[in-house]
C-alpha cells in the first residue's frame, strides 16, 4: 500500500510540473499509473489531498537544508550549498510555485499549513544569515538581515510564476524552465551582494557566473534586445 501511495505522489508531481495542477485530474493520474480511479481514491480522497501531501514533502526538504552546521563556521562554499538546495527545491515543486495563490485559495487547510511553514522558515533562514554574519561573510544589522531574508523569500517563492508567465506556450520546455529558475538564484545573489564580506565577497563573481542566464532567447524574455 505504501508503494502505491508513493507512486501516486511521484506521478502526480511529474504531471503537475509538466502540465500544471489545474490541467491534471485524478483520472489522468490513475491512467498514467495504470491503476483504477478507485485504487487511487483508496489512498487519497481527492486531488487536494495529493497536493497537500506533495507540499509536506516540499516542506520537509526545505526544513532540512535551512540549518547551520554545528561545530564550525560557515564558508562561501556553504552559500553555494544553500543556493543549490533552493534551486533544487524550486525545480522539484515548480508547479506549486507557479500557481501558489490558486492552490492556497482552494484549500484552507493548505493555506494554514503554508503560513506556519513560512514563519518557521523565516526563523530558520534568519539563523542561517546570522551564521553567515558570525563567520564574517555578511555585514548587516539585525533589521537589514530580516529585510534581506523577506526579500529573498518573496523572490524565490514567486520567481517560477513570474518567469513562466513570460514564456509563450510554444516555447515552454523543461530546459528553459530550469535556466530561468537559475536566474532566480542569480537575483538572490545580487540582493546579497552589497552585504557580502570576506571570501564571500571575493567569490561574488564566481557565484554570479554559476547562475547567470546566458545571452540569447532566455534573456530576451526579461529585457527588450
pLDDT digits (tens, 9 = 90+) for 59-118: 999 999 999 999 999 999 999 999 999 999 999 999 999 999 999 999 999 999 999 999
Phi, psi of 196 (to 5 degrees): -75, 145
Q: Mean pLDDT for the chain?
A: 91
User: pLDDT confidence of 2, banded at 50, 70, 90?
Assistant: low
Q: What CATH fold (topology level) applies to the domain 48-218?
A: Tetracycline Repressor; domain 2 (1.10.357)
What mean pLDDT is predicted for residues 165-179?
76
The pLDDT score that the predictor gives to residue 74 is 95
Percent of the chain with pLDDT over 70: 94
Percent of the chain with pLDDT over 90: 77
What mean pLDDT is predicted for residues 200-206?
95
pTM of the model: 0.90
User: pLDDT confidence of 1, banded at 50, 70, 90?
Assistant: very low
The pLDDT score that the predictor gives to residue 160 is 87
SS3 string, 38-84, reads HHHHHHCCCHHHHHHHHHHHHHHHHHHHCCCCCCCCCCHHHHHHHHH
The pLDDT score that the predictor gives to residue 34 is 95
The pLDDT score that the predictor gives to residue 140 is 97
**What are 118-156's pLDDT values in tens digits?**
999 999 999 999 999 999 999 999 999 999 999 999 999
- CATH C-level class of 1-45: mainly alpha
> Where along the chain do its domains lie?
1-45, 48-218
Amino acid at each position: 500500500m505504501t508503494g502505491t501511495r508513493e507512486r501516486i505522489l511521484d506521478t502526480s508531481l511529474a504531471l503537475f510540473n509538466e502540465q500544471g495542477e489545474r490541467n491534471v485530474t485524478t483520472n489522468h493520474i490513475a491512467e498514467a499509473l495504470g491503476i483504477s480511479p478507485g485504487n487511487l481514491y483508496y489512498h487519497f480522497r481527492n486531488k487536494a489531498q495529493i497536493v497537500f501531501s506533495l507540499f509536506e514533502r516540499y516542506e520537509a526538504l526545505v526544513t532540512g537544508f535551512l540549518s547551520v552546521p554545528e561545530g564550525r563556521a560557515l564558508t562561501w562554499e556553504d552559500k553555494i550549498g544553500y543556493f543549490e538546495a533552493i534551486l533544487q527545491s524550486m525545480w522539484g515543486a515548480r508547479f506549486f510555485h507557479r500557481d501558489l495563490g490558486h492552490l492556497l485559495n482552494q484549500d484552507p487547510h493548505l493555506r494554514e499549513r503554508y503560513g506556519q511553514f513560512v514563519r518557521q522558515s523565516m526563523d530558520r533562514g534568519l539563523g542561517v544569515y546570522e551564521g553567515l554574519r558570525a563567520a564574517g561573510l555578511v555585514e548587516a544589522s539585525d533589521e537589514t538581515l530580516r529585510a534581506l531574508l523577506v526579500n529573498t523569500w518573496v523572490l524565490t517563492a514567486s520567481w517560477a510564476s513570474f518567469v513562466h508567465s513570460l514564456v509563450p506556450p510554444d516555447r515552454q520546455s523543461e530546459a528553459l524552465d530550469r535556466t530561468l529558475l537559475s536566474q532566480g538564484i542569480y537575483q538572490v545573489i545580487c540582493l546579497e551582494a552589497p552585504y557580502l564580506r570576506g571570501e564571500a565577497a571575493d567569490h561574488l563573481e564566481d557565484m554570479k557566473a554559476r547562475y547567470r542566464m546566458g545571452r540569447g532567447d532566455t534573456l530576451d524574455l526579461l529585457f527588450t534586445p
